[in-house]
């Protein structure tokens, strides 16, 4: 599937334990981006710390060459799951339907366990931010069922590319 406009996308894995060698979820997203014809702008692993996460994502949001940010991890309910608390205040607009639809399509794959996902998305400074759970399966689901089409400028009747700062 062609993506129309090639976007610059940053991938961020939120984890206290993963390394580049063990970051399967980040690797899934990187491969999805490349397969869709987009460009990987950067790939990072950041500790699940509210302030370190905000700092990194704020830099991406401020960068005119980053069109989208895909985060994986930190969306659960433990005290070390800080993605929602860190990223939500940075968003100008919440995309409520993303989390709702992610949990709906995920339900078909993992049943009621999807209720433990706090996947969410939004816009900040003309950049779209998608926050996914930290499993490779969740990253495949999020990309294949939702994100790929919404980052494809050819997808009809609508997609998010016309709302991005494409410079």
Q: Over the stretch 9-32, which tens digit does the pLDDT of each residue have? A: 999 999 999 999 999 999 999 999
What was the pLDDT predicted at 138?
Answer: 96
What was the pLDDT predicted at 1?
Answer: 44
CB atoms within 10 A of CB 92: 11
What 3-state DSSP class applies to 128?
strand
What was the pLDDT predicted at 81?
Answer: 86
CB atoms within 10 A of CB 42: 16
CB atoms within 10 A of CB 78: 8
What was the pLDDT predicted at 129?
Answer: 98
Q: Is the pLDDT of residue 2 over 70?
A: no
What was the pLDDT predicted at 3?
Answer: 59
The order of strands in the sheet holding 68-72 is 39-46, 8-14, 68-72, 127-132, 120-124, 93-94
Mean pLDDT, residues 132-159: 96
Residue whose C-alpha is closest to residue 164's, from 7, 4, 3: 7
What was the pLDDT predicted at 116?
Answer: 87
CB atoms within 10 A of CB 46: 21
Interval 58-109: pLDDT, tens: 999 999 999 999 999 988 887 888 999 999 999 999 999 999 999 999 999 9
What was the pLDDT predicted at 107?
Answer: 94
Domains, the chain, in order of start with CATH, read 8-157 (3.40.980.10)
DSSP H/E element including 37: none
Q: Report the alpha-carbon angle 108-69-158, nearest 5.
A: 65
């Amino acid at each position: 599937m062609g993506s129309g406009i090639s976007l610059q996308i940053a991938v961020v894995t939120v984890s206290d334990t993963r390394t580049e060698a063990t970051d399967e979820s980040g690797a899934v997203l990187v491969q999805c981006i490349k397969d869709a014809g987009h460009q990987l702008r950067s790939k990072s692993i950041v500790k699940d710390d509210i302030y370190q996460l905000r700092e990194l994502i704020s830099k991406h949001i401020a960068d005119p060459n980053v069109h989208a940010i895909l985060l994986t991890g930190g969306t659960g309910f433990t005290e070390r799951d800080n993605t929602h608390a860190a990223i939500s205040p940075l968003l100008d607009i919440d995309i409520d339907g993303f989390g709702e639809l992610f949990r709906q399509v995920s339900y078909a794959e993992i049943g009621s366990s999807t209720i433990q996902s706090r996947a969410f998305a939004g816009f900040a400074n003309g950049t779209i931010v998608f926050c996914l759970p930290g499993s490779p399966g969740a990253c495949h689901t999020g990309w294949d069922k939702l994100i790929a089409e919404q980052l494809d400028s050819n997808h009809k009747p609508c997609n998010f590319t016309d709302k991005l700062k494409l410079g």
